[in-house]
Amino acid sequence: MTIFDRYVLRLFSKIMLVCFGSLLGLYLLIDAVGKLDDLLDLSDSSGNLWTVLVDFYAGRIFLFFDQVSALLALIAIIFTVTWLEKNNELTATQALGISRWRIVKPLVIAACLISLLSVVNRELMIPAYRSQLSRTAQDWDGTKPRPIWPRHDARTDILIGGKFAYAKDQQISLPNFRLHAPIGQFQYRLVAKRAHYLQHSPQRPAGYLLKEVSDPDNLADLDTGYLQDRAVIWSPKDTDWLQQGDCFVASNVHFDQLTAGNAWHQYTSSAQLVRELRNDSIQHGTNVRVTIHRRLVKPVLDITLIFLALPLILRRRKKNLWMAAGSCFLMVMIFYLLVLTCHAFGNHGFLLSPSLAAWFPLFVFIPTAYSLSGVFRS
């Protein structure tokens, strides 16, 4: 690495940090002011406002970085090249016979590293804060009732629903499970006072423990219901660990999928999303598949955006820098407009398959970036 490379990287890093810090501070200020009453209420219960702010915004900072990292890298590169051009450093290096590509090479490498950091952040950090990110300031402790999105368990043909959900104990108030067809001696409905989601254990599969069952009213006389030699509705009559008046419904529909609606996959790692696609209890929409493909293609899209914008800056003379910046802004608008439009089509199954919805922008922009790359050879 040459002295000039280190100089360019230091300049890029400073601009990147300033831009990220400024946008992050603005986001935190606006968001905290909007939630000030709720945050103060939380601080009254915990005794320390700063602790509340750190707990509430720690995961959201990682989420914010995931959303703006590609655009910030582009802005930092544009400002770095503009600074070099403004101070005639770009002209001086070219006068020494150094190509434009060699000048911007460290910037492209830095953008690749930021893209890699974004992937690590997306797959490791955000899933680690999934529980906190799914909570609001009004229900930070998970004790307030949340609406339930009823989910159909495709494996058992049971519609899982209820009146409210409580995130802290993963509890459903007044659960109402509807059976499409009888399972053993159990008919078409299971109603109880509350239900608790239980993770898989050696004693039983994952599912919901229904407490104080009111329908059916003859629960104590019913045998465990089976589907294809697999116990689905466990009865206290022949299950030792169940108390009288309770029953257990085996299901791979997770509690988060009842309370987060269609947004549950936003904070989930790609590996977990792939495992969920293999879950025969849930019939996932095309949006989950679009999300997986979108995450696969995102690092390549981020670098492609850099190669679309750089030629527009480098091909302009110093007096036309503002025109070059405007051209870059227009290119970014077209880029994200096409990407978001393709994702929307894929999510709704309109014209594009989930894979094509994520990859189609590359088929458009990579040839465009290649056609503009001639400026690097001068």
Number of structural domains the chain divides into: 2
What was the pLDDT predicted at 330? 87
Q: What residues make up the domain containing 165?
A: 151-259
Q: Is residue 143 part of a domain?
A: no
36 neighbors 73 (Cβ within 8 angstroms): no
End residue of a domain, out of 212, 243, 259: 259
Within this chain, do residues 13 and 128 fall inside the same structural domain, yes or no?
Answer: yes
Q: Is residue 72 part of a domain?
A: yes
Phi-psi label, residue 213: left if phi above 0, alpha if psi -120 to 50, beta otherwise: beta
Task: Give the mean pLDDT of the chain.
Answer: 87
Instruction: Provide mean pLDDT across the span 347-375.
Output: 87
Q: Is residue 348 part of a domain?
A: yes
Within this chain, do residues 162 and 251 fall inside the same structural domain, yes or no?
Answer: yes
pLDDT greater than 60 at residue 318: no
pLDDT greater than 80 at residue 263: no
pLDDT confidence band for 96 (50 / 70 / 90): confident
Within this chain, do residues 243 and 172 fall inside the same structural domain, yes or no?
Answer: yes
Instruction: Provide mean pLDDT across the span 84-107.
Output: 81
Eight-class DSSP state of 237 = T
Q: Is residue 119 part of a domain?
A: yes
End residue of a domain, out of 243, 259, 275: 259
Instruction: Provide mean pLDDT across the span 312-326.
Output: 68
236 neighbors 247 (Cβ within 8 angstroms): yes
Within this chain, do residues 204 and 318 fall inside the same structural domain, yes or no?
Answer: no
Within this chain, do residues 219 and 96 fall inside the same structural domain, yes or no?
Answer: no
Within this chain, do residues 71 and 119 fall inside the same structural domain, yes or no?
Answer: yes
Tokens of 12: 């890029």
Within this chain, do residues 155 and 130 fall inside the same structural domain, yes or no?
Answer: no
Eight-class DSSP state of 221 = G
pLDDT confidence band for 103 (50 / 70 / 90): confident
What was the pLDDT predicted at 168? 83
Q: Is residue 26 part of a domain?
A: yes
Q: Is residue 373 part of a domain?
A: yes
pLDDT confidence band for 107 (50 / 70 / 90): very high
What was the pLDDT predicted at 320? 64
Within this chain, do residues 312 and 231 fall inside the same structural domain, yes or no?
Answer: no
Within this chain, do residues 239 and 310 fall inside the same structural domain, yes or no?
Answer: no
Q: Is residue 274 part of a domain?
A: no
pLDDT greater than 70 at residue 62: yes
pLDDT confidence band for 313 (50 / 70 / 90): confident
pLDDT greater than 90 at residue 224: yes
What was the pLDDT predicted at 373? 76
Within this chain, do residues 111 and 15 fall inside the same structural domain, yes or no?
Answer: yes
Which residue is it, tokens 């690092």?
A: 299
- Range of lowest pLDDT (23-37, 182-196, 257-271): 257-271
Within this chain, do residues 102 and 19 fall inside the same structural domain, yes or no?
Answer: yes
pLDDT greater than 90 at residue 359: yes
How far apart CA 267 and CA 27 sit, in angstroms, is 19
What was the pLDDT predicted at 99? 79
52-66: burial string, b at 16+ Cβ within 10 Å, e else:
beeebbebbbbbbbb
How far apart CA 312 and CA 320 sit, in angstroms, is 11
266 neighbors 238 (Cβ within 8 angstroms): no
Within this chain, do residues 80 and 185 fall inside the same structural domain, yes or no?
Answer: no
Instruction: Provide mean pLDDT across the span 95-106.
Output: 82
Share of the chain above pLDDT 90, in %: 48
Number of residues written out for the chain? 378
Q: Is residue 85 part of a domain?
A: yes
Instruction: Give CA 316 to chain center in angstroms.
Output: 38
